Structure 1
């Protein structure tokens, strides 16, 4: 099953990293490379990337076409800052991977979502 592991940046995550010493922050960032290497070795990694949190945009369909604004909008306190797309046995394995990241110690820092297949859509329509 494919799962998308989403890493969220929020005020709590910013505080978490801000409170770390240089050595702690270096060790925290090493986790990303370690997880990446482990997932490549196990064959579970499909794709991963860090996202530019400063250049994200919100897109809405308007009467005259797409309306593009800066994101996150002021009322949104968090933004997706990275992802790992994995192909794993089950939800428990996806959660196990997500729990390794530094952001997992704050509420809402990590999220997982199963990727739906064509069969899932057929079953749920």
Structure 2
């Protein structure tokens, strides 16, 4: 079963991290990626740019309109994700607990089962 592990980021929390904490997070993500690849659970990961660089396309008057941002009323945003293929939800939760963000107050991981997937053929 595929799960998307969404990394919820609070920029204020990230700004307060020490250089050592930032290094441990980077090393932890590298170790997590390597371990899930080795077990055949890894599908993909992506880090996303700050929402200030976002564009939103939505229908206005029956036509698509492009605007800046999502600019939602929240200081947190999706900073990236892991896509994993695991036996069940319990394993997805177990993996999420291994991501370094899970140990930092103010950051969070959201798990969502994938309902449909088309990864293409390369």
Q: TM-score, normalized by length of structure 2? A: 0.80
Which residue does the alignment assign to 1:106?
105
Q: Is the 8 A contact 2:10 2:106 kept in 1?
A: no
Asked if residue 28 in structure 1 is aligned to residue 25 in structure 2, the reply is: yes
CA-atom RMSD in angstroms: 2.1
Question: Any residues of structure 2 matched to 1:37-116 within 5 Å, and which?
Answer: 37-53=34-50, 54-104=52-102, 105-106=104-105, 109-116=108-115
Structure 2, gaps ≥5 residues long? 118-122
Q: Is the 8 A contact 1:39 1:45 kept in 2?
A: yes
- Give the conservation status (yes or no) of the 8 Å contact 1:88–1:94: yes
CA distance in 1, matches of 2:70, 2:37: 31
- CA offset digits 1:30-62 (Å, max 9, x no partner): 111111101110110111111112422222211
Cα 1:30–1:68 change in 2 (3 A) is same
Q: 2: distance between equivalents of 1:20 and 1:77? A: 17
- Over 3 Å counting, the alpha-carbon distance change for 1:5 and 1:56 in structure 2 is same
Q: Could you tell me how far 1:75 is from its partner in structure 2?
A: 1.5
Q: Mark the runs of 5 or more structure 1 residues left unpaired by the alignment.
A: 119-125
Partner SS for 1:48: strand
Aligned residue pairs: how many?
A: 115
